[in-house]
Chain A
């Protein structure tokens, strides 16, 4: 049973990772616990679903519709809800994010109805197994997409000019402007990428579970947050690592300890890791110079 549980855990972990990557990226740039991320993920799933069912589009265009739709929502939020509060204390930004999350959940409920909607089956889901590990086509796609995103995003943030502009904006927005950086554009761009990643995760997870519903982002967002923190919030490979740790520990915990305490196990691991390493596994602690 152990190998099987381990594959369960990795499959689940890659879903967490996928969601956490977009979350952690936005955090890395804006220093915002983006409580809305889970709901952007939900919006992505619904946009794609609308494309598939109402507009009758094929898979890829629907997928893109989901990502584009969610990016637009993300950028609108950045422009109208977040930018106006950048200058206020950070907690205000946090509250704006919470407000936006509540809003989006209920907005989706008003527009698409509160019930769970089924996702049509689009990809033939075969099961593969090697050395006792088992995985389905979709699981492999999710894992593959996560790894690819980690690599691409790390490259962008670390080695490109745009990435440097993003880091500057996060550290000191005014000084960034004085360097000639169009900080608004950087912020919007960040949200655009972050949201489309969130949406991609939402669509994939929607396809994986064959379901989409307005509250689907709530738990996903929280799990993304935990994964990101375990790995070191703001650190992109860390999000991947954190997601996998969460997935595996949940699966093994549910199997060998108790399914009722499954979510608690993830949090206990989180707290334990933070006590040993207060900034997460891959996070670096920046001490303030006095």
Chain B
């Protein structure tokens, strides 16, 4: 109790600093969004290539700073995870707070296959995705008729059940002791055993995830998904089979989470049920919402920021999560639409406001998004 005043002082100070910082950043994000929505195709391609180049040489620049490399790899891993949830939440509007279950399935499948059966990572990776997708299907078919909060608790439940299975099925999973000794991946005799190599491996997976997300979003299926998210009744009346699309999104999201899990297992060489608890799902959810639900660049940014911030705060160990909590709240207040929202990328701030016109109806709003 004695330190109450000091704690309060520190936290108020932190809040004030964060508030100012986010205000400024918010302006910056607006500017970026406006810029992105205004540039033409050619410049866009140019910028994309620039970013790709930067991302590609990044690890070479920091080759002697393993901590930077490692953090970058974790950032990329979370980008895959956040994008995978984005397909479910952002595209299909389904609030899932049990996403780490699919992440866990991917990780455990890879761990079991590579450790117990000495199967190559290159087979374990797609198998992990496939099995995670299968679980997505099994969960999705019965539960996707549930709405909003009911779906949310069901997905939490699924995540918890899975975690308990991992803990209790000791014959298969070694229970809480986890599975250590997951080997380095090897392709045609080429061993992925340094941070640098892992970086490029996860980078390829990130690229693949982004590619699929973009193509999906801009296809007929993507339009169908967004339609279902915006208004399911109207979507059905337009001939869109909403259950099919929702399940599709769920399955795809699960598959990419499985891929992320598979990578995680080979990178850490150790899996343990604690990695995949409910807070992990919440963290992924925060990345998507903070970045901007549905917006691919936004979600990438969200994953990056939310991975780096706790790292940056690691030195103030005890204040770390208190400040993290404040940050979430402030972000939601100052920038509810997320850092780079879908709407802002579509047409700048103008449509942003009027887009809210319909949603402002009290608290009932849209159920999912």
Contacts and interface: CB of A to CB of B under 8 A. Distances in A.
Interface stretch (A13-21, A96-104, A119-127): A96-104
A94 B286 CA distance: 10
Interface in A242-266: 258, 260-261, 263-264
B161 A264 contact: yes
A229 B7 contact: no
Contacts of A116: none
A229 B149 contact: yes
Contacts of A268: 157, 161
A222 interface: yes
Interface string B214-255: 000000000000000000010000000000000000000000
Q: Is the interface of A mostly helix, strand, loop or mixed?
A: helix
B147 A95 contact: no
A107 B322 CA distance: 6
Interface stretch (A135-143, A147-155, A205-213, A270-278): A270-278
Given A50-B1, A106-B325, A270 B7 contact: no
Q: Is the interface of B mostly helix, strand, loop or mixed?
A: helix
A170 interface: yes
Contacts of B4: 111
Interface in A81-100: 81, 84-96, 98-100
A172 B322 contact: no
A261 B164 contact: yes
Given A226-B153, A264-B164, A290-B233, A89 B359 contact: yes
Contacts of A89: 293, 336, 359, 365-366, 369
Interface in B95-126: 95
Contacts of A280: 150
A95 B318 contact: no
Interface residues of A, number: 64
Given A100-B329, A258-B168, A267 B1 contact: no
B35 interface: no
Contact of B157 (A96, A100, A271): A271
Interface string B350-369: 00000010011111111111
Contacts of A102: 321-322, 324-325, 328
B286 A174 contact: no
A95 B154 CA distance: 18
B38 interface: no
Contacts of B143: 271, 274-275
Contacts of A175: 362
A87 B356 contact: yes
Contact of B168 (A33, A98, A111, A260): A260
Interface string B325-336: 111110011001
A131 B294 CA distance: 58
B289 interface: yes
Contact of B328 (A27, A96, A222): A96
B152 A278 contact: no
B321 to A, nearest CB: 4
Contacts of B152: 33
18 contacts: A31-B363, A54-B1, A87-B359, A91-B95, A95-B286, A95-B289, A102-B325, A110-B322, A111-B1, A171-B362, A222-B278, A264-B161, A267-B158, A270-B153, A270-B154, A278-B145, A278-B146, A279-B150
Given A89-B369, A172-B362, 18 more contacts: A54-B1, A85-B332, A87-B356, A89-B365, A89-B366, A92-B289, A95-B332, A96-B329, A96-B332, A99-B326, A107-B322, A169-B362, A226-B153, A229-B150, A267-B156, A271-B154, A274-B150, A279-B150
Going nearest first, the 6 A-B pairs with the smallest beta carbon separation are A103-B325, A99-B328, A88-B336, A267-B157, A102-B325, A106-B322
Interface of A: 27, 30-33, 50, 54, 81, 84-96, 98-107, 109-112, 169-176, 222, 225-226, 229, 233, 258, 260-261, 263-264, 267-268, 270-271, 274-275, 278-280, 288, 290
